[in-house]
Amino acid sequence: MQLTDKLKSNFSWFFASLLLFVAVLPFSQALVSITSGILLFSSFLDEPIRVKTERIKNNNLPLLVASVFIIYLLSYLILKRPESSAYDLQKSLFFLIIPLAFTIGKPLSNVQIRILLIVFVVAVFGATIVAWFNWFFNRGTTDFAVHKITLISHIRFSFQLILVFWILVFALKKNFYSLSLNHKLVIIVSTFYFLFFLFFQQSLTGLIAFGASTFFFTVYSIFKLKGRFKWILSSIVVILVLFPIVYLGGIIIKFYQIEKVDQQNIEWTTLQGNSYSHDFNNPTVENGRYVYLYICDDELRTEWNKISKINYDSIISTGYPLNASLIRYMTSKGLRKDAEGVKVLTKQDILNIEKGYTNVIFQKKKYSPYPRIYQTVWEYYMYSKTGNPSYQSFSQRLEFAKTAIAIIKENLWFGVGAGNWKAEFRKTFEKNNSKLDKELYASSHNQYLNYMVKFGIPGFLIIMFLLVYPVIKSKSYTDPLFLTFLVFMFAANFGDSNFETHMGSSFFLFFYCLFITNKNNNYLIFGN
């Protein structure tokens, strides 16, 4: 009876819609859009209008965040061009709907917030189970990349994993002395599970965001401690800073240890007496070896077709010719691209090549960040040598950023306007004679540059004020979980325009509004 009474006392239609929102957040963009509408509708229920009106007078900080939508709307209406798209307005609707819902909706108790966070943790865990199922059982006949196993964008899902990780960390910290040993073990194991999945998924933006939040959390903890523990944590900070630098530096140094080729004395015939093809002008390398040296197409075709059902000249699941993957993969193993080289390929090598792997490290070190970092360094190397960023994630981002800066310089005060960025980027790419393929034209994958492109420097500063001021005014920065959340989201925005995606903006705004409208941080203390 007491449990029933407790559930009734903590029930509201608004709270029920919040539960539904966090439950679908890791699973579906469409459901998130639908649920956000339910969220706003339910916020009008539960209380008389006069109670809501009085509360809004005293707590209207979320409405400042909702003003971001007004900036989009005014920019669109004032600077509208014939080719303008209203899609920017559609994506920015979350800035209006979610803050408005939290402003109008019935305030939450600590128990309700705790339940929300628990449901969110369980939902994210459920989404990882679906992802594992996809990874092991739903690949079909083509290579199913690890980035595709989640039901939403792997970048946006990585943010959810990071938040769940920190929810568990702070829950353990706040309840350490009151929890039983079994409960502690469950939380610790769960924390490492979500962390493992984050690294397994290999979202570079997510890993950078997690690194930023970990660094912040450690520094924050140092200021809270005294004595020798402070020095121990200070040492940990130094290690946290130095380790990724040393690790990254080691990969870069190793990458640029490229073989020197003696063009005068290079061999021109295979062991079977056929001619090698050497392209000395092609800079492509794999593991320090030039790809387009020592190639005998005829021998490769003959020997490969003997060991594989996929023809040498076929287009595979990656959209590229199999022979391109074969040549790069054999180079990465230090093999010449001839009959003798094909004969030493293992069954695993053959399977890797059929999947489109271009380097042996993508199989050998697939559970570490090494391949993702190697790929990024490789892309930068190729971009620096050829100037062509096409179909290379990191290189394209560099080209996008360079183009965005060029646009900003010419539109410092008001930007190009919401809805006009596509036309402006296309014009600037063409003006700068970019080698980027036209079908790959896109905006900067950097939220701050995107704001400056659309709204100019003043508009960017206004939006930053509208996001930062409520945190300061509400003093919600005193909540370490919220502060950690802000750190990793604002760090992630250097690598992607997260606030201009459905899943990125809905995730951020939901938890942002949840924290600034509930200022005390006792919601993670069990038993109260």
Is 60 exceeded by the pLDDT of residue 39? yes
Position 5 scores a pLDDT of 53
Q: For all residues of the chain together, what is the average pLDDT?
A: 89
Predicted pLDDT of residue 3: 42
Strand-pair partners of 289? 286
Structure tokens at 151: 């039901």
Q: From CA 150, how far away is CA 477, in angstroms rounded? A: 32
Note whether 299 and 326 are within 8 A (CB): no
Contact of 309 with 355, CB cutoff 8 Å: no
Q: Which residues contact 373 (CB under 8 A, 6 or more apart)?
A: 204, 248, 251
Which residues, in sequence order, are CB contacts of 315 under 8 Å at separation 6+?
321, 322
Whether pLDDT at 9 is above 50: yes
Residue 186 tokens, joined = 């469950």
Q: What is the mean pLDDT of residues 258-268?
A: 93
Residue ranges with strand state E in 227-300:
285-286, 289-290
How far apart (Å, rounded) are the C-alpha atoms in residues 108 and 42? Answer: 14
| Range 26-31, long-range pairs (CB < 8 A, 24+ positions) | 26/123, 26/124, 26/126, 26/127, 26/150, 26/151, 26/152, 26/157, 26/160, 27/123, 27/126, 27/127, 27/130, 27/151, 27/152, 28/151, 28/152, 29/152, 29/502, 29/503
For residues 484 and 486, what is the distance between their CA atoms, to the nearest angstrom?
5
Highest mean pLDDT among 59-68, 91-100, 315-324: 91-100
**Model pLDDT, residue 391:** 86
- pLDDT of residue 264 exceeding 60: yes
* Among candidate residues 160, 158, 189, the one with its CA nearest the CA of residue 172: 189
CA-nearest of 134, 208, 173, 179 to 445 is 208
**Is 271 exposed, middle or buried, given 0-12, 13-18 or 19+ CB atoms closer than 10 A?**
exposed
pLDDT in tens, 316-372: 888 889 999 999 999 999 999 999 999 999 999 999 999 889 999 988 777 778 888
Take residue 277 and report the two structure tokens written for it. 């093809």
Task: Please write the tens of the pLDDT for every residue from 149-161.
Answer: 888 999 999 999 9
What is the C-alpha separation between 499 and 489, in angstroms, rounded? 10
Measured between alpha carbons, how far is residue 477 from residues 221, 517, 521 in Å? 15, 12, 10
Provide the pLDDT confidence category of residue 2 given band limits of 50, 70 and 90. very low
Rounded to an integer, the average pLDDT of 387-409 is 92
Confidence check: pLDDT of 45 > 60 = yes
Q: What CA–CA distance (Å, rounded) separates 508 from 72?
A: 18
Quick one: pLDDT at residue 86?
Answer: 82
Q: Out of 26-40, 234-248, 301-315, 451-465, which region has the weakest mean confidence (pLDDT)?
A: 234-248
User: 139 falls in which pLDDT band (50, 70, 90)?
Assistant: low
The C-alpha atoms of residue 63 and residue 66 are separated, in whole angstroms, by: 5
Reported as a pLDDT band with limits 50, 70 and 90, residue 144 is low
Predicted confidence (pLDDT) at residue 140 exceeds the cutoff of 60: no
Helix (H) or strand (E) holding 153: none
Amino acid 141: pLDDT: 44
* Residue type (1 letter), 7: L
Does residue 50 carry a pLDDT above 50?
Answer: yes
pLDDT, tens only, 225-242: 776 667 777 777 778 778
Query: Is 10 a residue whose pLDDT tops 70?
Result: no
The Cα 262–Cα 227 span in angstroms is 61
Mean pLDDT computed over 240-260: 89
**Residues 442, 404 contacting (CB under 8 angstroms):** no
Instruction: Give the whole-angstrom CA distance, residue 150 versus residue 148.
Output: 6
Looking at per-residue pLDDT, the higher value among 188 and 11 belongs to 188
Neighbours of 194 (CB within 10 A): 21
- pTM given for the model: 0.86
pLDDT tens digit string along 183-192?
Answer: 999 999 999 9
User: What whole-number distance in Å separates Cα of residue 13 and Cα of residue 362?
Assistant: 49
User: φ, ψ for residue 74 (rounded to 5)?
Assistant: -65, -45
